[in-house]
Amino acid sequence: MNRDVALRYCREEGLSLAAYEALASLEKDEGRRSVLKKLAEDEKRHFEFWRSLAGVDCEPSPLRVLLLKLSYSILGPLFTIKLMEKSEEEAAREYSSLLESVGEGWRQGLMDLIKDEEVHEKELMAMLTDPRLRYIGFIALGLADAIVEMTGVNAGFLGATGNTIAVGLAGLIVGFSAALSMAGAAYLQSKHEARAQPVKSSLATGLAYILTVLILVAPFFLVTHIVAAFTASVTASILLTGLFTYYSSVVEDKDFRREFAESLVLLLGIAFASYALGEAINKYVGFPRSP
């Protein structure tokens, strides 16, 4: 086997070892913590196996470990464990393809690793419970609605006035009112469905909405050139859409590219239609435009 291949797998297993140890130290649930500790013990054996084949030490990147810890703390166990599960699936497939290229003395050890990776996948899947999941839908509701509505409002007022401050103020007024409306709707929906706490559901929706509004209208107060301000706002919309689409695609096992493409077409279509409406209104009403 190529030494560089063994070195790469050694680093990957070292990363998994460090990640599981770090995540176990963060986990408060005793059941999940014990699973993570067991996974770390298995990964240590895998690390030693590949280190023996590589013939050199191969420490993981501290930055990648830190990113996984931040993901676990901020984005939640579900998202991070899903990422780890994908890594375990890929490792099992790649190890299977290497069975014929390793010496007889190493083959049994590699077969044991493949079995471990398959068991790990099942153990990780059993951990896929996260109380925060109950509120993901409400956060998605606030975020997605704010992105679509604010992009439409900004484009519409851009076509009607061409004034950055007017567009920004319109976005703030509409966005604040819509955030309150969406928060109220989330409260009633949660109360009716009885699957999450109504107050937390309302806060999740309202905060997601208003934070998105602030991000999308900020360029209109910071940049005086209307085209530059709108471009920055639309770029922020696309980035927010991409980030949340990636998160939901990992959590819900969906195709990221397809989901993102659909969201992007919807977003840009609404922006174009709103701008055209604003231009039409300006043509007949005659709002003053900034020079």
Residue carrying the six token digits 């009607």? 160
Confirm if 220 and 160 have CB atoms less than 8 A apart: no
Residue 10's pLDDT band (cuts 50, 70, 90) = confident
Taking residue 180's Cβ as centre, other Cβ atoms within 10 Å add up to 14
Rounded average pLDDT over 148-163: 72
3 state SS of 7: helix
Rounded average pLDDT over 176-204: 77
How would DSSP label each residue in 203-222? HHHHHHHHHHHHHHHHHHHH
Nearest 10 degrees: Cα torsion 286, 287, 288, 291 = -90
What residue ranges define each of the domains in the chain, with the CATH number in brackets? 3-126 (1.20.1260), 133-285 (no CATH)
pLDDT at residue 44, rounded to an integer? 84
Rounded average pLDDT over 181-191: 78
Q: What is the pLDDT of residues 253-271, one digit of tens each?
A: 778 888 888 888 877 787 7
Q: How far is CA 58 from the centre of its chain?
A: 29
Q: Write down the pTM of the prediction.
A: 0.64
Residue 291's pLDDT band (cuts 50, 70, 90) = very low
Q: What is the pLDDT of residues 72-94, one digit of tens each?
A: 777 777 777 777 777 767 776 77
**Whole-angstrom distance, CA of residue 87 vs CA of residue 121:** 9
3 state SS of 74: helix
Residue carrying the six token digits 């005086």? 224
